[in-house]
Amino acid sequence: MSTFTLPQLPYAYDALEPFIDKETMTIHHQRHHQAYVDNLNAALKASDETSDDLGSILQRISEYSPAVRNNGGGHFNHSLFWEILSPQPQLNPEGKLAEAINSIFGNLENLKAEMKKAGLGQFGSGWVWLFVKFNGSLAVASTPNQDNPMMDIQPVNRGFPILGIDVWEHAYYLAYQNKRADYLDSFWSVLNWSAVEKKYEEALSKIK
């Protein structure tokens, strides 16, 4: 039987302050993410799923229940989110990823502006993604709830996510209240581009 566990954060709950506060990080990780893990395990047990490859499950998510979709997405999305944040981040992309960003978006500031626009345009809860399309190019998209570009229920914008911004209110409301724009601006101060570059290389290796 598949059993997923809550990943430990690679930094303390207060390490991302003042950009993301300790109380938000604690509640977000210990309560919200833990609930996704618990509910995912229960949903997979009910479906007799034996695979422990969450990426593979998400790529075939149309075969599963809404509970697997919602909680599997929640576990995957949050795990990626924690990995790309750092109290001592590399603040700019380098190498092949920087070249791809400049080629497709013109420059990093244009990418940030496009992701902010997508984040502000996402009605209700959801995520904003920078992802690698199956043809190898980069793209930006938003998804509702805990969906992501890996899922086969996406009619467009399919691919491998390498950078995700959580725009559920529980990700920012204690410090930013309804000012989602301010949260989206602050996010870049703790985004570790080194981690995103690794995910970019991993995504490219999957489509070769």
Q: Residues within the annotated binding site for Mn(2+)?
A: 28, 78, 166, 170
Give the tokens for residue 114.
Answer: 């496009």
- Cα distance between residue 168 and residue 85, in whole Å: 17
- Cα distance between residue 159 and residue 70, in whole Å: 18
Residue 89 phi/psi, 5-degree rounding, is -80, 155
Q: At what angle do helices 180-187 and 108-121 cross, to 10 degrees?
A: 150
E strands of the chain, at which residues? 126-133, 138-144, 159-166
